[in-house]
Amino acid sequence: MTDEAAFSGLRRHLAIVAMTVAFLAMAMTVTALDESDATATSGSCGSSATWSLADNGTLTISGSGEMYNFMNETFSTLPIKKVVFTGSVKDVGIGAFSGCTQLTTATMNSSVTTIKAYAFENCTALTTVSAPNADLQSGAFDGCTSLSSITVKSQVSVLSYTFRNCASLTSFDFSNVTFMNESAFEGCTSLTSVNIPEELTATGNNMFKGCTSLTSVNAPLVQLIPDETFEGCTSLTSVNIPSVVGIHYNAFYGCTSLETIDITSAVQIFPYAFYGCKSLSYIEGPEVTNVEEYAFSRCTGLTSVDMPAVTVIGNNAFDGCTKLMTASFPAATSVSNHAFSHCSSMRSAYLDAAESIGASAFYQCTFLSNVIMPSVQTLGVNCFNDCSSLTQVSLPASVSAIPDQCFYHCSGLTNISMPSVQTIGSQAFNGCAWLSSVSLPTATEIGGSGFINCASLSSVSLPSVQTIGNRAFSGCGSLSYLELSQALNSVSTAGSLSSFRGLKFMDADGETEIPATAENLAGCSFHGDGDGILIRSLTVGSVFEYDGLMYKVTSSNPLEAALTGRVSDSEYMEVPYEAWSGDAGYTVRSIAAKAFYDDDTLVSIKIMGVTDIGSKAFANCSSLVSVDLWDGTIGSYAFYKCTSLRHIGFGDVPSVGGYAFTGLKFYDVDGITAIEPSRESLSYRSFSGNSTSLIRAPEPGESFIRDGLKYEVTWYDEAKLTGCVSGVQDVVVPAQVTLGGSTFRIYAIAEKAFYNNAAIKSLYAPSIESIGTKALAYCTGLETVTLGNVSIGGYAFYKCTALKHIDFGSISSIGTNAFTKVYFFDADGETALAANVMNLTQRSFSGSEASLSLDLGAGDEVTVNGLVYKIRGDLSATLIGAAVTVSKLIVPSTVQIGQNDVPVTAIGEKAFFEKTTITSVNLGSVTIVGAEAFSGCTKLSALTIPASVKTISSSAFNGCVRLTSVTIPGDDVQIKDNAFNGCTRISSVSFTGSGAIIGANAFYECTGLTSLNLSGVIEIESKAFAYCDGLVSLTVPGSVTTVGSYAFSRCAGLKSVVLESGVKTLGKSAFSGCSLDSVSICNTLKTLGDNAFYRHVFMASNGTTVLDHTVSNLKGHSFSGSNKVLIMVS
C-alpha cells in the first residue's frame, strides 16, 4: 500500500474516533433507564417514544418523535429477536441496537425517516430489514454479517460504512441511490454485482473493497474511481466505467479475476490502480496521459496495451507483466524506473517521443528484440540489463552517455549505433557476447569493465577517447581491429585491472611486444586474427610490397591500400582482393595514377576487386594483350595507346575518363559498327580481336550463326542451339563455339529449334544437357540420334517416324509425349517398353520406321522362357535366376534374344541360392558357375557338369545335401573354396580331365564319400576332403604335386593311402586323425609338413625301431600294420 493510501486510512480512523466522542457527549443529555431495571420488558426510549418486549422476543417501538441515542446500553442486554416500529416515531437513534446479536428482523413503518449512525452495528444475526422511508446514516448496518435483505426508500443516500462487512448481502438495489460515501459496502463478501445508476457520478474510497464475490460492475456515468474502491475484489471479471476520467490509488488492487475494463475516457491512472490484476489481458485507454507508479504492476496476464496519448509512465508501472509482448507508447516522453522490468515476454518497444528512459526500465525483458526510441536523450542505469534477445539498437545523436550496466548481459546484441555518445559507464556492455563491432566517434571515456567479456567483439573504433577504465576490454579475445585516439592519456595497466586484460599488443613487425600504456597506444590502430594478439597497423601513406607488387596504405579502418607499381617483370599480373603486410590484410580498392605507365613487359592482367583505376595507370603498356577488369571507374588515359590489346573484359563501369582507350577501336558483334567507350557501351561486356579492332562478344539474348547452326547467348559464356540454316541435313552440335574471341558452352537445344524440319537426317549431340519442348517434333526425315546425359522435353521427338537408331546416355527426365509415334521394344523385339527414364537411359535402340528394339548391351537383363539372363560385355549371357518356379533346370547353350543367338556362358552369383524346388541341373555349355549359385538347394540330387566348365566358384553347391555323385570331365578346372562343402550324401567324385585344382574346403565334410578318382588333378588345397568319414582307400596320382594342409584330416574311415610317383609336397596334418594301416610313399616326395601323419607310428622293418616322420625316413617305402602302428615292408 502506498504512503498516500496509508494516510487516507489514518484520516478515516481519526474521523470515526471524533464521531464516537460526539455521540458520547450527546448521550450525557439522555435520561438513562434505572440501572436496577435490567429485567424490564418495557420502557421509554424517547421523550414521546416507548418500547415493549414481548415474550417471543419482539420489541415494539411506539409513540412519536425521536428516539434517544445509544439505547443499545439497554437493548443489547435483552433477548430481542425482532424489532417493529409503530406509531409516529421519526428515527432510529444512534447506536440504538448496536450489539444486539440475537436480532434477526427489523421492520420500520413509513414514519421512520432516518436510521442514524451505527443504529444496527454488529447485529450479527440480523437478516432482514425493511425501512421504506428512511435515510441511512454512517455505519447504520456496519458489521451485520447475516444481513441478506433490506428494503430502503427511493432516492436514498448511503453514507460511510453503512453496510460495511455485511458479508451475507448478495444484492442491493442501487437504482435509487443518490449518494454513496467511503466504505459503504466494504467487506460485503457475498455481493455479486453492482449497477450504479446514471444519476450517480461519484463514489467514496474503499466503497467495495474486499467484496470477494463481486463479479461485475456497471457505472456508466461515474467519473472518478476513488482510492481502494474495488481493492481485493478477487472475483470481479468485468467493469463498465466508460465515463471515468481518473482511477485512483489501489482502485482495483488485487482484482485477480478482472478480465476486461472499459476506461476509454480515463485521463490518469494513479499508483497501484490495477496492481496484481493477473487476469487482465488487454487495456485500451485512448485518452490516458499518465500511468503512475505500479499502476499495472504484476498484471501477469496482460498481453497488450493501447494508450497512444500517454506522456508519462511511472515507476514500475508495468513491472512483472510477464505476458506483455509489445510496449507501444508513441506520445510518452518519460519512461520511469523499472517501468517494464521483468516483462519477460516483451518483443518490441515503440517509444517514438521518449526523451528519458529510467533506471532498469526494461530490466530482464529477456525476449525484447526491438526498441524504437528516436527522441531519447537520457538512459538510466541498468536500463536494458539482461535483455538477452536484444540484437540491434540505434541511438540518436541526442544521447551523450551510456550509464552503468545499461546493456549488461545483452548477450544477443550484435550491433549498436552510438554516433554522439561521449561516455560509456561501468559495465555498460558487460557480457554482450555477440556484439561484433563498436564505433564511438565522439566518446572520450570508457568506464571500468565497459565492454568486459564481449567475446565476439572484433572491431572497436575510438578516435576521440581519452580515458579507458579498469578491465574495459577484458575478455574481448576476438578483437581483430582497434583504433585509438591521439588524445588517449589514461589506460589501466595494473595486472588483473588492465584495460585490455588478456590482449597482447605487437609492433608492426608482428614480433616486438608493446606494453599497453596510453603513451604506446595513443593515435594507433591495431589489427589481428581474433586470437588475442593485436599488431600495430601501418599509417596512412605507408608503402609496402606484397607478392611482387607495391602498395600504399589509403585507410586504416577498414584496412585499404592502392596498387602503385611492381618490383618484378612478370608478363602476367593478377591484382588480388587483399595485399598483406606482415599479418595485416589490406583490401586493394584502387590502382594509383601512372602505376604501370610505360611498362612494356606487362602482357596480361586480371584485376579482382579494384573499384578505381587511376589516370594513366596502364598508359603506353605496349605489350599488354589481355585485361580482365572488376566493377569500377576507369580514369583518363588509363589504357592510352595499349596498341597490342586483343582482349578486354569489363564489369560495371560507372565512368570512363577522357582518352582512356586512345589507340583502340571498339566494334559491335558485327565487326562493323563502331562503339564509343562509355558506361553504357562497356559495362558487363567483353571485347576480343586484334590490335586495331576489338569486337564485342554477344551478350545474353543475342543470336549468331556458326557453321550453319543458329545459337542464342543465354549467359556470358553459355549459349543454346536454336535451329539451322536451310539445307543442313546432319546436325553435329559442338560442345562449345568461339566467336570474336569469346567461347560459349553449348548446353541446350531450344524449344522448337528444328520443329517440322524434314531435311534433317541425323542429330549428334552428346554434350547437350537439355532438349526443349517440340525441339525436333515432326522431323519426319530424322533417322539417327546420338545423345549424352540429357533431359528431354515434352513432344521433343513427336512423330519422328523415320527413326532407325537412337543412342541414349543418362537421362534425367522425359517430358510428356516426347516420343509419340516412336515405339520401343525390348531386345526380343516383342515386349513393348514405355518411353521412360528407366527403360531408355544408357541404352541404344535400332530398327526402322520408328519401331526400335533394344540393342543388347552389357548389363541388360532379359527373361526368356522363364529364365533371367544378364548380358555380358562380350555379348554372351549369364544366367542369373528364374522368373518362374524351376525343378529340373536345363541350361541352354544359346538363347534367342530378338534376332540374336546369344551364348550362355556362366551361371551368376547366387543365381539359384536356396531354391529348394530344384531337383536336377544340367549346366549346358557354361564355363563358369558363380559363387553360391546353387548353395542351399537341398533337393538337388542330380548334377551334370559339362567339359566346358572351367570354374566352379566358392560355395557354388555348398549344402546340397541330396547330391549323390559329381563327375568333372573338363581340363584345367578350378574347384574354388567350399564348392561342395557339406554335401553329405555325395558318394562318388571323379575327375576325368587334366589340370584340375581342388580349392580349400572344396569337399569338406562330405561324409558319404566312398569313391574318389583324382586322375589329372594337379593340386589339392587345405582341408579339401577333411572330415570325409566314408572314404576307405585313396590313391593320389603322380599328377598331383601338392597335397595341402589338413587335406584329408579327420577322415576317420581312411585305411589305405598310396602316394604315386610325382607327389612332391605333403602339407601339415594332411592325414591327421585318419586310421591308416597301409601307406605307400613315393620316392619323389620332397616336403613333409608337421604332423602330416599325426598319431601314426612308423617303424623300421625290424618292428622295433621307431622312425621319425621325415622325408628321408619315409619316402620310397611302403608301410602296413594296424592300430595306426605301421611297419616298413622290406
Q: Residue 1070 to residues 149, 661, 1093, 1094, 1108: CA-CA distances in angstroms?
A: 119, 93, 7, 9, 17
Q: Which three cell numbers stand for residue 489?
A: 592519456
Per residue in 131-146, pLDDT tens? 999 999 999 999 999 9
- Number of Cβ atoms within 10 Å of the Cβ of 1112: 10
Question: In 3D, which of 749, 805, 742 has the Cα closest to residue 777?
Answer: 749
Bridge-partner residues for 284, per DSSP? Answer: 306
Q: Which has more confidence, 619 or 829?
A: 619
Give CA–CA dist 909/870, Å, rounded.
12
Do the strands 900-907 and 928-929 form a parallel or antiparallel pair, or are they unpaired? parallel
Mean pLDDT, range 393-421, rounded to an integer: 95
Using pLDDT thresholds of 50, 70 and 90, give the confidence band for residue 990: very high
Query: What confidence tier does 638 reach under pLDDT thresholds 50, 70, 90?
Result: very high
Confidence of residue 8 (pLDDT cuts 50, 70, 90): very low
Strand, helix or coil for residue 718: strand
Task: Provide the pLDDT for residue 741.
Answer: 62
Q: In what order do the strands lie in the sheet with 888-890?
A: 888-890, 920-922, 942-944
pLDDT at residue 264 in the model: 81
pLDDT of residue 740: 63
Residue 1011: CB atoms within 10 Å: 14
| Predicted pLDDT at 335 | 96
What mean pLDDT is reported for the chain? 91
Distance CA 409, CA 433 (A): 8
| N- to C-terminal Cα separation, the chain | 130
Radius of gyration of the chain (CA): 55
Q: How confident is the model at residue 37 (pLDDT cuts 50, 70, 90)?
A: very low
Task: Summarize pLDDT for 323-335 with one digit per residue, the tens.
Answer: 999 888 999 999 9
Residue partners of 690: CB distance under 8 A and separation at least 6: 646
Domains of the chain: 379-536 (3.80.10.10), 543-696 (3.80.10.10), 703-854 (3.80.10.10), 858-963 (3.80.10.10), 979-996+1018-1130 (3.80.10)
Rounded CA separation 957/1003 (Å): 10
Q: What angle do CA 854, 858, 859 make, to 5 degrees?
A: 90
pLDDT digits (tens, 9 = 90+) for 188-236: 999 999 998 888 888 889 999 999 999 999 988 888 999 999 999 999 9
Residue 214 to residue 557: CA distance in whole angstroms: 68
pLDDT digits over 364-377, tens only? 999 999 999 999 99
**Burial state string for 1024-1050 with b = 16 or more CB within 10 A and e = fewer than 16:** bbbbbbbbeebebbebbebbbbbbbbb
In angstroms, the Cα distances linking 478 to 441, 498, 702 are 21, 17, 51
Q: What is the pLDDT of residues 896-942, one digit of tens each?
A: 876 678 999 999 999 999 999 999 999 999 999 999 999 999 999 99
Q: Cell 536336377, residue? A: 920
CB 195 within 8 A of CB 172: no
Percent of the chain with pLDDT over 90: 76
* Best CA proximity match to 114, nearest among 143, 73, 75, 85: 85
* 33-55: average pLDDT: 77
Give the mean pLDDT of 118-122: 96
**What is residue 39's predicted lDDT score, i.e. its pLDDT?**
55
**How much of the chain exceeds pLDDT 70, in percent?**
96
For residue 937, give every residue at least 6 positions away whose Cβ sits within 8 Å of its Cβ, in sequence order, or none.
Answer: 912, 914, 915, 916, 918, 957, 959, 960
Measured between alpha carbons, how far is 111 from 318 in angstroms, rounded to an integer? 55
The arithmetic mean of pLDDT across residues 756-782, rounded, is: 97
CA angle 247, 251, 253 (to 5 degrees): 135
Could you tell me if 906 and 930 are in contact, meaning their C-beta atoms sit under 8 angstroms apart? yes
Sign for the CA dihedral angle at 297, 303, 306, 309 comes to positive
Among 141-150, 380-389, 645-654, 1050-1059, the range scoring the smallest mean pLDDT is 645-654
Task: Determine phi and psi for 188, rounding to 5 degrees.
Answer: -80, 80
- What confidence score (pLDDT) does residue 632 get? 93
Q: In this predicted model, what pLDDT tens digit does every residue of 291-321 receive, in sequence order?
A: 999 999 999 999 999 899 999 999 999 999 9
Give the SS3 label for residue 767: coil
Mean pLDDT of 852-879: 86
* pLDDT value, residue 1130: 62
Nine-digit cell string for 925: 555349355
Strand partners, 865: none
State the sign of the Cα–Cα–Cα–Cα dihedral 294, 299, 304, 305: negative
Going along 1039-1109, which residue ranges are E strands?
Answer: 1042-1043, 1056-1059, 1065-1066, 1078-1081, 1087-1088, 1097-1099, 1106-1107
What per-residue confidence (pLDDT) applies to 177?
87
pLDDT of residue 155: 84
DSSP 46: S
951 has pLDDT over 70:
yes
Report d(CA 726, CA 1127) in Å as an integer.
Answer: 102
Q: What would the pLDDT profile of 449-476 be if each residue is shown by its tens digit?
A: 999 999 999 999 999 999 999 999 999 9
160 has pLDDT over 50? yes
**Cα–Cα distance between 982 and 936 in angstroms, integer?**
10
Kindly report whether the peptide bond that precedes residue 558 is cis, defined as omega within 30 degrees of 0.
yes
Q: Does 1003 score more than 50 pLDDT? A: yes
Nearest to 842 by CA among 887, 788, 881: 788
pLDDT at 548 over 70: yes
Q: Which three cell numbers stand for residue 834?
A: 514405355
Q: Where are the beta strands (DSSP E) in 834-918?
A: 844-848, 851-854, 861-864, 867-871, 877-882, 888-890, 894-897, 900-907
Whether residue 828 has pLDDT greater than 80 = no
More confident residue, 12 or 800: 800
Taking the CA atoms of residue 564, residue 569, residue 570 and residue 576 in that order, the dihedral angle to the nearest 10 degrees is -10
Residue 18 has pLDDT above 70, yes or no: no
Q: For residue 450, how many C-alpha atoms fall within 13 Å in the half-sphere facing its CB?
A: 26
